[in-house]
């Protein structure tokens, strides 16, 4: 589920940085954190008590925590709980802890919600950092593609081709200009730029470039 959401966020031009988080799944700004749960995990977390513990820790660390419940209701899991337990948990989150519970149908809606939250924070002058997500959710193949996408002129499609052709990130990085040019979409100029980036000696002290937040 994490990989799908990551792709949807990237479609919307959202910069996502994977970091270790104490609470939540996404830090949208210095005051907004989002915990994202599938419907099944939401119901299970009510049953085993995790939900309230997570909610309280989010409230302690952030001014505006948000809970997003994604997907359709799971009849099997729902049957394990009394309806009042679910309603009571939601009421406690909203009324006692001040944590809104937002429902989304799928990862696309969740991505749109996160994008809107980030934009709202920026417009209110919060100057949010790049959208930060909990490290470890991202599937390894997606992490590999993201690494290769960092090369000059390499799109997600081209990153997939490179990994399919060479078999690993390491092999892509070691490939010569001629070897890179055997992959569809890479010409002489792009291959040269890639090799230049990988082999050029690092110039310490060069100021980092800043990228706009979503």
pLDDT value at position 91?
Answer: 96
Token output for 118: 């980030």
Instruction: Give the three-state DSSP class for 69.
Output: strand
CA 29 to chain centre: 14
Give which of 75, 143, 68 is closest to 100, Cα–Cα: 68
Instruction: Assign 213 a pLDDT band (cuts: 50, 70, 90).
Output: very low
CA 43 to chain centre: 23
Q: What is the pLDDT of residues 36-82, one digit of tens each?
A: 999 999 999 998 889 999 999 999 999 999 999 999 887 777 777 88
Instruction: Assign 206 a pLDDT band (cuts: 50, 70, 90).
Output: low
198 pLDDT exceeds 90? yes
Among 18-27, 43-52, 141-150, 176-185, the range with the most confident prediction by mean pLDDT is 176-185
Instruction: Give the three-state DSSP class for 131.
Output: strand
pLDDT value at position 209?
Answer: 46
Q: Average per-residue pLDDT in the chain?
A: 85
How far is residue 198 from each of residues 52, 143, 151, 165, measured CA to CA in Å? 48, 19, 9, 19
Tell which wins on pLDDT, 119 or 104: 104
CA dihedral 95, 24, 1, 50 (to 10 degrees): -60
Could you give the domains of the chain? Answer: 2-134 (3.40.50.10130), 140-199 (1.10.150.20)
- pLDDT (mean) for 95-122: 92
DSSP 4: H
- pLDDT (mean) for 143-161: 84
pTM of the predicted protein model: 0.60
% pLDDT > 70, the chain:
87
pLDDT value at position 211?
Answer: 41
Cβ-contact 99, 66 below 8 angstroms: yes
Among 83-97, 143-157, 195-209, the range with the most confident prediction by mean pLDDT is 83-97
Number of Cβ within 10 Å of residue 24's Cβ equals 23
Instruction: Assign 212 a pLDDT band (cuts: 50, 70, 90).
Output: very low
Contacts of 148 (CB under 8 A, 6+ apart): 154, 159, 162, 163, 169, 172
The C-alpha atoms of residue 37 and residue 12 are separated, in whole angstroms, by: 21
Strands in 16-19's sheet, in edge-to-edge order, are 16-19, 131-134, 26-27, 32-38, 64-70, 101-104
Strands 101-104 and 32-38: unpaired
């Amino acid at each position: 589920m994490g990989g799908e959401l990551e792709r949807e966020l990237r479609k919307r031009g959202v910069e996502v940085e994977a970091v270790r988080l104490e609470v939540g799944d996404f830090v949208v700004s210095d005051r907004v954190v989002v915990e994202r749960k599938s419907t099944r995990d939401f119901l299970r977390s009510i049953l085993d008590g995790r939900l309230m513990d997570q909610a309280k820790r989010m409230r302690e660390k952030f001014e505006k925590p948000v809970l997003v419940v994604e997907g359709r209701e799971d009849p099997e899991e729902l049957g394990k709980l009394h309806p009042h337990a679910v309603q009571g948990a939601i009421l406690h989150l909203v009324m006692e802890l001040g944590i809104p519970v937002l429902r989304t149908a799928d990862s696309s809606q969740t991505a749109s919600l996160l994008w809107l939250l980030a934009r709202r924070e920026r417009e209110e002058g919060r100057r949010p950092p790049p959208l930060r997500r909990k490290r470890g959710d991202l599937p390894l193949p997606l992490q590999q593609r993201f690494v290769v996408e960092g090369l000059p002129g390499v799109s997600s499609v081209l990153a997939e081709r490179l990994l399919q052709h060479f078999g690993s990130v390491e092999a892509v990085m070691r490939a010569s200009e001629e070897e890179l040019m055997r992959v569809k979409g890479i010409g002489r100029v792009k291959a040269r730029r890639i090799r230049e980036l990988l082999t050029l000696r690092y110039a310490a002290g060069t100021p980092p470039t800043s990228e706009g937040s979503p």
